[in-house]
């Protein structure tokens, strides 16, 4: 018994150590970005820091190109998320419990944009845009992002619908509710947290997508493209770090809100 307890104790410590090392490996680059957003040296990553300053935050806030790129990314992500929620939810409702010929083929085609490498999806979208004689711009970016965001929402919603007992819907119908009332009072509350999680993830993926955006943006410049261009301007490196810190701070708020909103519902299931 003692040897078994000792082995369990050592295993617990090994698991904790592995978790700590894994978290450190994942978050150390983020900490480096935050640290060097306050450096006084605008050319090198010298350590320890030669000095600490807030000058780069002031310089970043004064750059109109940064604000324009951020507004464009937020607009694209918001529209792509809304379209993905609508399309992903409707598709999940149609495929969750239905059985018909060709269902597996439809599911395969649906998940293809997220399974393929981004460069393949980008080239395919660009070819379709050129074939349709459409100039790449804001709406082509939105459509391109919607292709893979829809998959994210669909996967979350269809998984929740498959877990929901079918007899709940049947009981609602037996009690006199029509289809709209059953969806509003039975189905929608059950998949609300799945919609929230899928929408949040779709927004995050759209906000930082660059590969597909490069092929569909034309002359538009989203925030990831702005970051990509800034890699070739080493004198503005601290400003790049500042913008990265701002993006992390902005995205952290909805993530925390979604976590606290979904946690009670998840614990109750």
Q: Against a cut of 0.85, is the pTM above it?
A: no
The residues spanned by each domain of the chain are: 57-268
Q: Could you report the per-residue pLDDT of 135-192, keeping only the tens digit for each? A: 888 999 999 899 888 988 888 888 888 777 777 777 777 677 766 777 777 777 778 7
Q: Residues 217-222: what's their mean pLDDT?
A: 86
Q: What is the pLDDT confidence band of residue 84, given thresholds at 50, 70 and 90?
A: very high
State the Cα–Cα distance between residues 108 and 112, nearest whole angstrom.
6
**Could you report the per-residue pLDDT of 22-76, keeping only the tens digit for each?**
888 888 888 888 887 887 766 666 677 777 778 888 888 888 888 898 899 999 9
CATH number of this structure's domain 57-268, picked from the four choices 3.40.50.740, 1.10.760.10, 3.40.50.300, 1.10.3720.10 = 1.10.3720.10
Burial category of 118 from C-beta neighbours within 10 Å (exposed 0-12, middle 13-18, buried 19 and up): middle
């Amino acid at each position: 018994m003692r040897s078994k307890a000792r082995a369990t104790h050592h295993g617990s410590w090994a698991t904790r150590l592995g978790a700590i090392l894994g978290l450190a490996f994942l978050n150390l680059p983020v900490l480096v970005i935050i640290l060097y957003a306050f450096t006084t040296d605008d050319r090198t990553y010298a350590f320890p820091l030669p000095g600490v300053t807030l000058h780069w935050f002031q310089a970043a806030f004064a750059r109109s190109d940064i604000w324009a790129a951020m507004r464009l990314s937020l607009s694209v992500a918001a529209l792509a998320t809304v379209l993905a929620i609508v399309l992903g939810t409707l598709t999940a409702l149609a495929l969750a419990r239905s059985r018909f010929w060709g269902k597996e083929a439809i599911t395969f085609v649906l998940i293809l944009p997220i399974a393929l490498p981004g460069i393949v999806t980008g080239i395919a979208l660009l070819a379709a845009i050129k074939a349709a004689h459409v100039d790449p711009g804001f709406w082509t970016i939105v459509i391109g992002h919607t292709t893979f965001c829809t998959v994210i929402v669909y996967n979350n919603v269809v998984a929740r619908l498959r877990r929901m007992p079918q007899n709940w819907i049947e009981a609602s119908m037996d009690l006199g509710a029509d289809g709209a009332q059953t969806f509003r009072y039975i189905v929608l509350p059950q998949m609300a947290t799945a919609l929230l999680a899928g929408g949040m993830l779709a927004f995050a993926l759209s906000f930082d997508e660059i590969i597909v955006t490069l092929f569909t943006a034309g002359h538009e410049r989203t925030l990831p493209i702005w970051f990509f261009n800034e890699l070739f301007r080493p004198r503005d490196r601290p400003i790049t770090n500042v913008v990265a810190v701002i993006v992390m701070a902005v995205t952290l708020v909805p993530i925390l809100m979604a976590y606290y909103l979904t946690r009670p519902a998840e614990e109750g299931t």
